[in-house]
Structure 1
Amino acid sequence: MQAITDITVAMARQDRSIADTFEREHGRLRGFIRRYVPNLADAEDILQEVFFEFVEAARLLKPIEQAGAWLFRVARNRISDRFRRRRFEPGDPPGLAALDADALSLIELLPDPDASPEAAFARFFLLDELDAALDELPEEQRSVFVAHELEGRSFKALSAESGIGINTLLSRKRYAVLFLRRRLQSIHEEIQ
């Protein structure tokens, strides 16, 4: 009977620890995710995924020494996953695949966060630099890049919504990609 009581107390303590971590970190983590994922629904999905992984890890008794750092690392990984996933729609221009190959090379600049603590730091640093570089883009390039790359919206939908031709949108994104690649490449080389 004592063993059951001990297990119940330990589970209650673990539940309280998880709830405390959620209360302490969810606002900052939501803000961090929203910096990179402007679509509110997508940002909330990522936030839920991150906390689900946290609860799962805690339940499996995986040691998480610095919960805040762990949560932000998982969030950065989920945000990076969004860059890798591309949604193409029928009717998208044929040049889109080549353009997306350019965009995906930005992700290739990001080190694997699981490789080492230094790689995780470099990845975090590069994501911050990506955020700063996005702010340096002209508005029309930034908005197309964010809408297509981060929100996963198609050029066809963007064109219909804005009244701007698909080729113009493709051109704006291409200029954004080239700028971001140059900007991040120099930083990538500095930290290697």
Structure 2
Amino acid sequence: MPPPTSPTADHDQTITATVLRERSKLGSFIRRRVADQTDAEDILQDVFYEFTQAHRLPEPIEQVSAWLYRVARNRIIDRFRKKKEVALDDMVDEDGEAYRLDLLVPSADAGPEHAYHRAMLLEQLQAALEELPANQREVFIAHELDGLSFKEMALQSGVSVNTLLARKRYAVLHLRARLQDLYNE
């Protein structure tokens, strides 16, 4: 009979299994958004380090995969803000769209001026999102804010990936036009 495992060993096994399962896809996700491969690898390591720290807290992480992608997106945003590399034309999304709203939102803790600009941008973004047809708005929010892949959305909704991509494209075009003045400022 094998010896009983300790809670620490169980945690370590769960962490190892998660890293092995998610490393390749998460690494690809990060590399598509970060040009410098060294930076991409650093971000990946930061995400897994944060995961190991968070996993040891008393409260469990629900939906580990979504949590990892959210942390990765936040680290990418932090890296671009730190390096001031944010440019609409340099960012390419999975569907080829060169526009990343999440990278344009100023940090809430960067001071009063940034907080004002953040509030203004978020207000305008909300208004622009409300102008979209419901199907475009839902796809945009699910992909950009909730971090769902087009494949996941297609499975959930029964709508083809190509249709979802088209809806996202129309949403991005509308938001780009609607928010261009704010970006220019």
TM-score by length of 1: 0.46
Greater helix share, 1 or 2?
A: 1
TM-score by length of 2: 0.48
User: Could you say which structure has the larger radius of gyration?
Assistant: 1
